[in-house]
Structure 1
Amino acid sequence: MEYNDLIFKIPVESQTYAEDSAFIISQITAILDERKRVGDNKIILNTNLKLGLPLENINKIAGPMIEAWAGEVFSGIRDDMNNRYRLINVEAQERLGMSDIVLQFKKDGRVLTGNVDVKATANDIPNSGKGPNITSFSRIRTAYVTDPDFMFIILSIKHKVYSERNKNTNLVDGIMEIVDYNAYDLKFISDADINYNPALGTGQIQIKDIHYVTYQYRTTWEMCQLLDQKYLHSTRRTFDDFYREAKKNKWIKN
């Protein structure tokens, strides 16, 4: 048996999917633009240190800090029932969840859901943002079959870290300042920008460089086929491995 012999369940997304995806991404970007404009783009770490912070190590905690900041930003917007972004629900996900934050927006009488994965990158580290693991191969492949309109948004947030003496305490505070951000729909990231890393379970989908991404519009079924080929082209994966995952996760009918 070969790949082409399999009878796949073919997901078909809504006709408005691309438009809905663009809407959610534009709303996310607009929210962050406003936070930056009003100066609410810093995380301040109050310390009892007098001589400064080990800046070379602070980036190790940047990920969860920036994820928490993003969650608070979106939650603050949601709490305004009449917010102009039409954001109606924000749900922080568990640590090993599919995404970090689930956002829901109202548009034309419908509720649109974006599953947001927050990726923090450092402005002063040359290779930061290159080859990050995004999500599990089997998990995202299954999500697209289960819900053809499943929207997985990668929110890349670039930050810089520096120290600043607190005038009130005369101690040194650490500042994480958000300096740039971009949001992408995983389904529309180009073939050339997506890699497959066979490590960790069924493998991880990676983005070559999260700061420089090219869009390539495709259907949900085309995305599933792309994921399959990335998996099968790995020297550490076989067709039997794929068939086992396909049967287990009900991607096929035979």
Structure 2
Amino acid sequence: MKYTDLDLKKPVESKNYKLESEFVISSVKQIFEEKRESGNNKIIIKTNLKMGLPLENINKLAAPLIEAWAFETFLEIRDESENKYRLINVEAQERLGMSDIILQFRKNKNVITGNIDVKATSNNIKNSGKSPNITSFSRIRTAYIQNPDFIFIILSIKHKVYNEKNPITSIINGIMELTEFNIYDLKYVSEKDIAYNPSLGTGQIQIKDIHYVEYEYRTAWEMCQLLDKKYLNSSRRTIEDFYREAVKNKWIKE
């Protein structure tokens, strides 16, 4: 059996997909740039520790804290009486969901949905942000088949952590300052920036450096083909493995 022998479904996105993806990215980028420029880009971690936070292990706390901060930031925008971003819905997803946050924007008479995956990267740790797992191979490929207009956005947030003494209580609080933001559509990440890790179930799609990627515009079908190529190039995967996933997830035409 060869890959070319399979009669695979070919998803076709709408002609407005690129514009809608760019709209979501632009809106999210503006929201976080305003946060940074206004100085509201810090998470204060109050403790009763007189020696301050153990900075060498703070990365273990960073991901859930930054994800919660991002979620609350979007909620604040949604709840403004006349928010200029036309953000109408914000939903936090369960721990093992496809993404962390779902956003819905109104644009003219349409509603655009963006699935946001929040990734925290530390300025204090040398290899932070290198090859993190994004989502499983079968899950993201199936998403593009079921909805060719599926917008999956990576929100990469860089942070630095330091201690600051409260002059009144003498207690040292931890400050997590969010310093840089990068937002991009997974479907347009360049081939060289995408990797496949065969561990964990059907394998994980990874970004080689989460904060620094190049773009290559492609269609939903071209993205599926790229994912398939990464999967089949693994020494731990065979065409029989792929066929089994294709049948299970209904990637093959009936």
Give the TM bin, normalised by the shorter chain: over 0.9
Q: Does structure 2 retain, via aligned residues, the 8 Å contact 1:81–1:88?
A: no
Deviation of residue 168 (structure 1)?
Answer: 3.1
1:42-66, CA deviations, whole angstroms, 9 ceiling, x for partnerless residues?
0001000112221101111100000
2:185 match: 185
Deviation of residue 13 (structure 1)?
Answer: 0.3
Please give the alpha-carbon distance, in whole angstroms, between the structure 2 residues aligned to 1:211 and 1:185.
Answer: 12
Gaps of 5+ in 2: none
1:149 match: 149
Mapping for residues 42-121 of structure 1, pairs under 5 Å: 42-121=42-121
Following superposition, which runs of at least 4 residues in structure 1 exceed 2 angstroms of deviation? none
**For 1:85, what is the secondary structure of its paired residue?**
coil
User: How does the TM-score come out when normalised to structure 2?
Assistant: 0.98
1:8 match: 8
2:227 match: 227
Deviation of residue 3 (structure 1)?
Answer: 0.8
Please give the alpha-carbon distance, in whole angstroms, between the structure 1 residues aligned to 2:112 and 2:169.
Answer: 46
User: Are residues 1:212 and 2:212 paired?
Assistant: yes
1:126 match: 126
Please give the alpha-carbon distance, in whole angstroms, between the structure 1 residues aligned to 2:253 and 2:16.
Answer: 27
**For 2:161, what is the secondary structure of its paired residue?**
strand
Q: Does structure 2 retain, via aligned residues, the 8 Å contact 1:197–1:204?
A: yes
1:130-187, CA deviations, whole angstroms, 9 ceiling, x for partnerless residues?
1111110000000000000001000000000000012232101011000001001000
Relative to structure 2, which stretch is displaced further, 46-55 or 228-237? 46-55
1:166 match: 166
Deviation of residue 218 (structure 1)?
Answer: 0.2
Please give the alpha-carbon distance, in whole angstroms, between the structure 2 residues aligned to 1:93 and 1:170.
Answer: 38
**For 1:83, what is the secondary structure of its paired residue?**
coil
Please give the alpha-carbon distance, in whole angstroms, between the structure 1 residues aligned to 2:140 and 2:211.
Answer: 22
1:192-229, CA deviations, whole angstroms, 9 ceiling, x for partnerless residues?
10000000100000001112200000000000000001
User: In the alignment, residue 99 of structure 1 is paired with which amino acid?
Assistant: S
User: Are residues 1:251 and 2:251 paired?
Assistant: yes
Please give the alpha-carbon distance, in whole angstroms, between the structure 1 residues aligned to 2:5 and 2:102.
Answer: 37
Gaps of 5+ in 1: none
Identity among equivalent pairs (%): 68
User: In the alignment, residue 43 of structure 2 is paired with which amino acid?
Assistant: I
1:9-28, CA deviations, whole angstroms, 9 ceiling, x for partnerless residues?
11100101011101100000
